[in-house]
């Protein structure tokens, strides 16, 4: 590993630690439940942040390659896989905490319940988008399928804003909404760029 790559990898680790510290502060400001409930909330927030960073990183491919000294895909995948792992741990912790697997299933009774429990469909879309990227050499339309990540992030934001414990305060809610708008803007910019090619 070159000195530059090692130095830039330290920045990536630093950002990860900073994210953990911010989530820990947010969890301590709004305490609720025991360690399992804290793990459930922490996994959701860390996964949400990692997916946000993964989506926005697609706008800065050249800059990230220059900064980290490795391919964009390698750096992007580290962040994306981290997000997917944490987002997967969230519903598993919820299922254990509430002692039911019903929480990992979509609710189709009404639009209100679907949006409140939009986490499971968001997770499904993330898995499909991730598999498309993994099998990109075998799936010609993988980029189109991978765009499901954006919809998944929006659904996850709606889920968090409607029933997420940590997004109920005014500031946290507005930050989540601004993040969702940034992801939407990223999608629009990438689609316009794709049409221009």
Distances 139 to 58, 73, 75, 134, 152 between C-alpha atoms, Å: 20, 17, 22, 9, 20
- How many whole angstroms separate alpha carbon 153 and alpha carbon 184? 9
Query: Would you write out the chain's pLDDT as a tens digit for each of its 197 residues?
Result: 555 555 555 555 656 666 666 666 555 556 666 777 777 888 888 899 899 988 988 877 777 777 766 677 777 888 888 899 989 999 888 888 888 888 888 888 899 999 999 999 999 999 999 998 888 888 888 888 888 999 999 999 999 999 888 777 778 889 889 999 999 998 988 887 777 65
CA Rg, the chain, in Å? 17
Cβ distance 12 to 78 under 8 Å? yes
pTM of the model: 0.81
- How many whole angstroms separate alpha carbon 125 and alpha carbon 127? 5
Write out the residue range of the structural domain in which residue 7 sits.
3-196
- How many whole angstroms separate alpha carbon 62 and alpha carbon 43? 30
User: What's the structural domain count of the chain?
Assistant: 1
DSSP state string for 28-49:
HHS--S-HHHHHHHHHHHHHHH
- Longest Cα–Cα distance in the chain: 56
pLDDT tens for residues 172-196? 889 889 999 999 998 988 887 777 6
Residues 6+ apart with CB under 8 A from 125: 148, 149, 151, 152, 155
- How many whole angstroms separate alpha carbon 54 and alpha carbon 49? 9
């Amino acid at each position: 590993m070159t000195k530059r790559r090692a130095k830039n990898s330290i920045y990536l680790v630093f950002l990860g630690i900073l994210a953990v510290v911010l989530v820990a502060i947010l969890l301590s400001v709004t305490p609720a439940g025991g360690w399992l409930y804290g793990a459930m909330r922490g996994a959701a927030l860390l996964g949400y942040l990692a997916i946000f960073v993964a989506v926005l990183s697609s706008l800065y491919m050249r800059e990230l390659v220059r900064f980290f000294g490795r391919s964009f895909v390698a750096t992007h995948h580290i962040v994306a896989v981290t997000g997917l792992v944490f987002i997967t741990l969230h519903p598993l912790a919820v299922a254990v905490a509430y002692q039911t697997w019903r929480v990992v299933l979509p609710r189709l009774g009404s639009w209100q319940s679907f949006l409140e429990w939009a986490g499971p469909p968001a997770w499904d879309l993330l898995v499909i988008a991730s598999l498309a990227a993994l099998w990109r050499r075998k799936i010609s339309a993988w980029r189109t399928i991978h765009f499901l990540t954006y919809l998944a992030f929006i659904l996850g934001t709606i889920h968090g804003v409607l029933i997420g414990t940590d997004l109920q305060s005014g500031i946290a809610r507005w930050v989540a909404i601004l993040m969702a708008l940034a992801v939407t803007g990223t999608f629009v910019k990438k689609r316009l760029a794709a049409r221009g090619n």
